[in-house]
A and B are shown apart, each in its own frame.
Chain A
Amino acid sequence: MRKIVFAILAVAALSLAGCTKRYSPNGYEIVGGTEYYAILPAQEYLMAIADDMVTDVLGELETALKVEDLGNSASLRFDMAEGSILEEGKTWKVTGSTRALKGMTIKNIGSDTWEMAFDGDYSLNDYVYPVSFIAKAKRGSQITNNHYNWGVTINGNRTERGGYSCTYSSKSTVLYQCTQDNKVGWNDVEGTYLLTVLLDNEPIDLWALEFDGIPSEAIFSRGL
C-alpha cells in the first residue's frame, strides 16, 4: 500500500513539474524590448552561412588541392577529372564530404582561382540548411604546407517554408587569412556579407555581417 501511495505521489509530482514549467519557445529572455530577442537567432543564421559554411568550402578546396599528397584516402572523396586540379578548366566533384558539402563541384577557372558550386542540404551541428551558391576563391600566400590565405566572393540563395526565402552575397571580396603558423583554420576575416530576406519574393529585411579581424567579434546589423 505504501509503495502504491509513493508511486502516485511520484507520478503526480512529475506531472506537476512538467506543468509548472511555462513553455517559452525561443529560450531567450526579453530584455529591454525586442532588440536582444532579435539579434542572436538572426546573427547565428547569418554566421552559419558567412563563417561556418564558407570556411567549410575553403576546407574542401584545400583538401582537393592536396589530394596527391594525402593519397588514396582523400582521392576517394572526389570524382576527379583527368589531370590535376591545378590545371585550368579541370572540374572535380566532392563525393564524400566530411564538411556536409557532398555534391559540391570545384573548378579551376584560372588566375589561381577556383569556383565552387553547391545545391543541396548543408548541415551544421543539429541544424540543416538547404542552400544553393556559387563561390569563388582566389588563392593568396601560403601559410603552412598546402594551407593558404584566400579571397572569397559568394552569391547564394535559399528557399524555405511559408513563402520565405533569402539571397546572400559577399560585399566585394572577403579575406580569410591566417596570422599564426600553427592554425589550421582562418583566424582573421575581413569583409562584409549581405543577406536579403524575402517573403513571397518581396524583400522584407536586410542583414549585414561585417568582419574586421576576429570572426567571433563580427558586427551584425539590419535594416531595409
Chain B
Amino acid sequence: MKRLLTIVSAALISAGSFISAAQGQNEISVYMGVMNAEYTSVDINRRYNYYRDLYALYEPNYDIGCYPTVTLDYNRRVLSWMSAGVQANWALMHGTGRYVMESAPETSFRQHMVAVLPQAKFYIPGPKRFRPYAKVGLGIGFSLGDQVVGKPVTFAWDIAPIGFEWGSNTVYAIFEASFGNVITGMRFGIGYRF
C-alpha cells in the first residue's frame, strides 16, 4: 500500500509539473525547415521496387536535392502529457531528369508539395524551460504543378521522434527532426501558447 501511494504521489507531482510548465491549452507554431527529398525521390523514381525493368531504363530518373519547407502547426492540450492538433506543410521541390538509355537532353520539373496532417503531440518529462516532445501525424499530401512528377495525391505520414521547446511557457523556440513521405527534414521555429 505504501509503495502504491508513493507511485501515485509521484505521478500526481509529475502531472502537476506538466500543467505548470505549459499554461494555456492552445499552441500555434510556425517552422522553417530543410527538406531531404530522398524519400520523395524514391516514390517519384519508383526505383526501389523489386523489379529491375524497362520503365526504369527508358523513363527519366530524377535527381532531387534539399529544399526549404514551411510548416504551420496548431495543437490543443487534451491530457497533461498529450496535445492533439493539425499541421500544414509546404515545400517547393524541383529536380533534374536524366535518361539512362536515351541521349535526350535533361528535363526539369518544379512542383509544390503540400501536406495536411491531423496529429498527436506527446510531451516527454524534462526540464521546465527545455521541453522535449514527439509527434506523429497522418493525413493527405498533394503535389501541385503544371507537370507533376509522382503521385498528385497521396496518403501522408509525418513522425517527429524528437523535438524541443526552448523558452518560456508562452513564447518559445522549437527544433524538431521529422520523417515523412511527403516532407522530411529538420525544422526550426517559434511557438506561442495561449
Contacts and interface: CB of A to CB of B under 8 A. Distances in A.
B48 to A, nearest CB: 9
Given A14-B177, A25-B45, A41-B100, A19 B58 contact: no
Max chain B C-beta neighbours (<10 A), residue from A14, A33, A126, A161: A161
Nearest to A24: B63
Interface string A80-116: 0000000000000000000000000000000000000
Contacts of A48: 52
A146 to B, nearest CB: 33
Interface string B68-93: 00000000000000000000000000
23 contacts: A1-B130, A4-B130, A4-B132, A11-B162, A12-B177, A15-B34, A18-B38, A23-B63, A24-B63, A25-B47, A41-B56, A41-B100, A42-B101, A126-B50, A127-B50, A127-B52, A128-B50, A128-B51, A160-B53, A162-B54, A164-B58, A166-B54, A205-B101
A133 interface: no
B36 A25 contact: no
A197 B59 CA distance: 13
A164 B65 contact: no
Nearest 4 A-B pairs (CB), nearest first? A164-B54, A15-B186, A162-B55, A19-B66
Interface in A38-63: 38, 41-42, 44-45, 48
B159 to A, nearest CB: 13
Contacts, number: 106
Contacts of B177: 11-12, 14-15
A128 B65 CA distance: 29
A72 B65 CA distance: 57
Contacts of A126: 50
B98 interface: yes
A98 B163 CA distance: 49
Contact of B52 (A8, A44, A205): A44
Contacts of A19: 34, 36, 66, 185-186
Contacts of A8: 164, 175
A161 B162 contact: no
A184 interface: no
B6 interface: no
Contact of B51 (A16, A18, A21, A129): A129
A25 B52 contact: no
A186 B98 CA distance: 38
Given A34-B103, A162-B55, 8 more contacts: A11-B175, A14-B177, A19-B34, A41-B57, A42-B101, A128-B51, A160-B51, A160-B54
A20 B57 CA distance: 26
B100 A26 contact: yes
A30 interface: yes
A165 B51 CA distance: 13
Contact of A25 (B50, B63, B65, B186): B63
A199 interface: yes
Interface in A162-177: 162, 164-166
A4 B164 CA distance: 9
